[in-house]
Amino acid sequence: MSAVEALANNSNVGSAPAEGRITDQAIAEARSMIGLQLRPEGPYLQDATADTLRNFCNGIGDLNPLYREGEYGRISRYGTQLGHPMFPMAFGWVGRTRWGLPGVHGFYAGNDWELFRHVRPGDRIMAIERVVGVEEKESKFSGRLVLQYVEASYSNQRGELVARALGTCTRHERKAARDAGKYKDVKPYEYTPEEFEKIDAAILDEDRLIRGANVRYWEDVTEGETLPSIVRGPLSLMDTMGFLVGCGRGHTHGVVLKAAVKHPGHFFRNPEAGGGIEYTGIGHHRESVAKEVGVPGTYDYGPQRSSWMCSLVTNWMGDAAFLKRVRTEMRRFNTMGDCTWCKGKVTRKYVKDGHALVDIEIWGENQRGELTTPGMATVILPSRDVNLRVAFDGAALDLELPVIR
C-alpha cells in the first residue's frame, strides 16, 4: 500500500482533532511503556553556533549578552559565547505529549532540570529520553486525567553530560474539558494606558538589570531578598511563532503529510485551512482548536514560559555563577493578551560539598495577579572564602532531585 493509500484509508485523520478516551486499558498500555526509550522528537536544533544560540535567545526574549554576543563572550571569563541554560530545549521539548493514550489531548506541564556544564559554540547536543512514570488524577479542568513523566539526558559530542531533565505532561479528554468549562468565564483582559506604560518600561529597562560581569558573591546575598522582576507580554502571535523559529521548528507540506501517515491520530484535515493537514497542537495558534479542548483562546508554549523563568534567574546571578537547577510548573493557561510577570525570592543560603549555594523560589503571575507558574532554582555563586570551590562549569552535587518510578 502506498503512503497516499495509507493516509486515505486511515479513518483517524478526520476534519477535527481525535476524541480519544482515558480508559483503564489505555492507562495500562501507557504504563507498559515505562522504561522504554523514545525516538528523538525531531531532532530540531542540535548544533550550537553563534547563530543558533542567539536565535534561541530571540525566541524567548533573553537579552543577556553572554548568550547572544560572540565578542562579549570572547572577552568574558569563559573566552566564548555560552548557550542559554535552556538551549537543550531546542533539541526536544522533554515532557511533550508523544506516547500512549492515542487521541487524548496533552499539555506540557513543566520540567525539573539539573545542569552540569555550559553549551558552547561547536557543541552538538544529543539526548536519550525514556518513559519513567504514569499517574492518574482528577482535575477541575477535565475530570479524569493522566500525568506522564519522561527523563531526558542531554550530552555533547564528547559524551559529556550537559543536563538532565524530568518532564511532565498532562493528558485530558477533549470533550470532558469542554464540558467542564473551567475557563468559560475568562474574558480578554483590557489594559489601561498606565498598565501598558508599566509593562513597556519593564521590558525596555530589563537589560539594565542583567548582572553580567559584575560578580555576585554569596556573602552579599541575604535570605528573603527579592530578584528584580521581568515581564513577558502581552502575549502575541509574534511571541509564539518566534519561539518556534528560535527552536528551529517548522513543518510544512510533504514533511507534515509524511508525519500524518505515520501518526494519524496527531493530525487532522482542518476545514479552516481548506482541508490542509495540521497538527493537533495548532491550538497554540488557532482559537477554534484551543476551545475544542476547553482553553478560552490560543495560548503560549510551556517550554517558552519555562525559559522565561530561567532568564529571571540568570539575569540576577551574573556571569560568574552557575545555574545548577531550575524547576517550573504550568498551573494556569497563559492565553493571548496575557502577561507573565516573572518573580523570585531567595529562600535559603548554604554550603554543600564545598560549594556556596542559594535556593530561590520563583513564580509567574499574570496581569490579574493569578499564580500561573510556580517553581524553584538553585544557583552556585562565587565566594570570597578561598576554601570554597569555583564553579566554572557545573558541580557533582547531590541535590536529591525527584525520581519518578
Supply the pLDDT for residue 405: 43
Among residues 43, 55, 84, 134, which one has the least CA distance to residue 319?
Answer: 84
Which residue ranges make up each domain of the chain?
3-381
* Lowest-pLDDT range of 24-33, 111-120, 279-288, 368-377: 279-288
Alpha helix (H) residue ranges in 252-354: 254-262, 287-292, 302-317
**Is residue 5 pLDDT above 60, yes or no?**
no
Q: Look up residue 90 and give its three cell numbers.
A: 531546542
Residue with cell 527579592: 226
- Convert the pLDDT of each residue in 132-156 to its tens digit: 999 998 888 888 899 999 999 999 9
Class of domain 3-381: alpha beta
First to last CA, the chain: 41
The pTM (predicted TM-score) of the whole model is 0.91
Which one, of 280, 273, 44, 74, lies nearest residue 174 by Cα? 280
Digit-coded pLDDT (tens) for 170-198? 998 888 888 777 887 888 899 999 999 99
What is the pLDDT of the chain when averaged over all its residues?
Answer: 89
What distance in Å separates the CA atoms of residue 103 and residue 174, rounded to the nearest whole number? 9
Q: How far is CA 29 from the centre of its chain?
A: 27
DSSP of 271-293: GGGTTEEEEGGGGGT-HHHHHHT
